[in-house]
């Protein structure tokens, strides 16, 4: 059985370009709907460019964190993918 961490990365890898999911939605799809904060902690440790963690945002529409280049980079990536206006 995959660990929660592995399930989170699997879910995030499947987020298509131009789309986003909230930390809560990722947690639910990884079979632990109450673990949105844990999703954030897991993604904070991701440095694999094949896992598009920039596509995970807060439930209120805020960007949340991003460990590869900061918030400006996350916003730039999402705008480039037409996931933000």
Q: Please list the active-site residues.
A: 53
Main-chain dihedrals φ then ψ at residue 27, nearest 5 degrees:
-60, -45
CA dihedral 40, 4, 13, 78 (to 10 degrees): -10
Cα separation of 51 and 1, whole Å? 20
Cα separation of 51 and 61, whole Å? 20
């Amino acid at each position: 059985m995959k660990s929660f961490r592995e399930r989170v990365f699997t879910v995030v890898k499947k987020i298509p370009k131009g789309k986003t999911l909230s930390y809560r939605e990722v947690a639910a799809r990884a079979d632990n709907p109450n673990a949105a904060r844990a999703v954030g902690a897991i993604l904070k440790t991701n440095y694999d460019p094949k896992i598009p963690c920039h596509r995970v945002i807060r439930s209120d529409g805020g960007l949340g964190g991003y460990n590869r280049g900061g918030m400006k980079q996350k916003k730039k990536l999402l705008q480039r993918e037409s996931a933000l206006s």
